[in-house]
Structure 1
Amino acid sequence: MKNILCFGDSNTWGYTPITGERYERSNRWPGALHNFLGKLFHIYEEGLCGRTIANNIEGRAPRSGKEILPVLLESHQPLDLVIVALGTNDLMHSFAHSAKGIAENMKELCLLISDNQFITQHQPKTKILIISPPHLAALPAEDQLLFQYGVEKSKQLAAHYQHIAQELGIAFLDAQTIIQTTDLDGIHWTVEQQKQLARALSFKVKSLLTD
C-alpha cells in the first residue's frame, strides 16, 4: 500500500465555483486520483479553503501551510508521497508577495517535509511533488482588489516552482498545462477540471512510486 498526502487549498477541498458547496469525494481531485490509481494506493485529503503557504488570514482559523503541515506529517505517517498544491491564495494583494517570493516560501515548506523528524527517521524515501496552480482567469469585481496584480503573478509561478523543484530534487507539475481556471469565478475548477488534473497526476504518481 502506498500512502499519499494531498495538501492544498479550496481546489483540493473541492470548492464549487459560485455556490461554494463542496464537491463529492469522487469529484475532488484527490478522490478522483484514488479512483485512477486503484486499491493499492491510499489518499489522505487535506484541503482547506483559504490555505496559503505561509500566511494566516485575519479573523479565520490558521491558514498557513507551514504551521499545520508538520502536524499532518506526523498524523498520517508513514507517507510515500506528499503532494503540495498551494500558491493561489498567496497571490492576494495584502500579502505583497512576488511570484519569486511565493516560490521561496514553497521551498521552505518543502524543506519542512524533507527535514521532518518522523520522515527522516521512519520514512526517509518519502517523495515530494509540488503543483503550480493554473493561472487566475478574469475575476469578478469583488475579487479584483483582493487579487490585484494576481493574474500577472500567477503566470510567473510555474517557472519559479520548477526552479526550486530542480534545486531540491523533487517532482513538479504545472497544472496550467493540463487545466485552466474556470471563468465562473476566475479561481476555482469545475468537476471536469478536477478529474483532468487527477488523471494527469495518476501517471505522474505511478512513475514516482513504481518500485
Structure 2
Amino acid sequence: MAAELGSEYDVIVEGHPGRTSVFDDPIEGSHKNGQAALPALLESHRPIDLVIVMLGTNDLKARFNVAAHDIALGVERVVLDIRRSDCGAAGAAPQVLLASPVPVIEAGIFKEIFAGAAQKSQALPALLRTVAERQGVAFADMGQHATVDPVDGIHLDAAAHGAIGMAMAAAVLDSLT
C-alpha cells in the first residue's frame, strides 16, 4: 500500500497479531483488545488524516462465541471512538476507512480455534458495510481482492498481501479525495 501511494503519504502500520475489536482475549491476553489500545495509538500518531480499521477476524475465534452481528457492533464501537477523538487535523476527528477482512476457512492448525468461523466471516462484509453507511465512513471489502491461504485458513500469502495493498491504496485515495 505504501509503495502504491508513494512518498507523499506516511503509512503507519499498527497491526497486531491476534487483535480483536473489543474483546479481552482470555488466552492470549487483554492487550489484544483493539478498543483498549486505540486511544494510545491515536494520540501517539496525531495528527492523523485517515484511520483504516480492519478488525473482526480474531473475533471469530470460538472462545468468544459471538455472532457476526455482534462482531460488527464491536467494530462499530472502534469506529465511534475514532470519530469522537480529536486526533485529526486541527483537533478534529480523523477520517475512517472501514475494511472488511478476508473471509476465513476452517482448515489446518487453526481449525478448532476458529470452529464455526467460516460462515460468520461470510456474513461480515455486508454487516460492516451497514456499519460504514450508518457511521458515514468509507468502506472497502478486502474479500473482493484476496483469499486466505488454505494451509491455515486464516492468514494471507504474499500474493494476497500484495492484492490487499493495492486495493487498500485505491480505497485510501478514494477516501481522501
TM-score for the superposition, normalised by structure 1 = 0.79
Aligned with 1:156: secondary structure? helix
Partner SS for 1:43: coil
Report runs of 4+ in structure 1 exceeding 4 Å deviation: none
Matched, 1:134 2:95: no
Match of 1:56 among 2, 11, 24: 24
RMSD over aligned Cα, in angstroms? 1.5
Deviations 1:152-191 (A, max 9, x none): 1010000100001000000111111110111121000011
Mapped contact 1:79–1:123 kept (Cα < 8 A):
no
* Cα deviation 1:49-99 (Å, max 9, x = unaligned): 110001122353410000001111000001000001111100011111100
Instruction: Show the counterpart of 2:13.
Output: 45
The aligned residue for residue 177 of structure 1 is 144
1:114-159 deviations in Å (ceiling 9; x for gaps) = 11144496134x210111111112411x422211210110100001
Q: Which AA in structure 1 matches 2:79?
A: C
Unaligned runs of 5+ in 1: 1-32
Q: How far apart in 2 are the matches of 1:121 and 1:80? A: 10
Tell me what 1:161 maps to.
128
Distance in structure 2 (CA, Å) of the matches to 1:42 and 1:135: 28
Are residues 56 and 136 of structure 1, via their aligned partners in 2, closer, same or farther at CA, if it must alter by over 3 Å? same
Match of residue 115 from structure 2: 148
Identity of aligned residues (%): 31
Selected match of 1:123 from 83, 88, 92 = 92
| SS in structure 2 of the partner of residue 83 of structure 1 | strand
The amino acid of 2:83's aligned partner reads: S
SS in 2 for 1:41: coil
State the distance in 1 between where 2:171 and 2:47 align: 20
Where structure 2 has 5 or more consecutive residues not aligned to the other structure, the ranges are none
In structure 2, the CA distance between the partners of 1:117 and 1:80, relative to structure 1 (3 Å rule), is closer
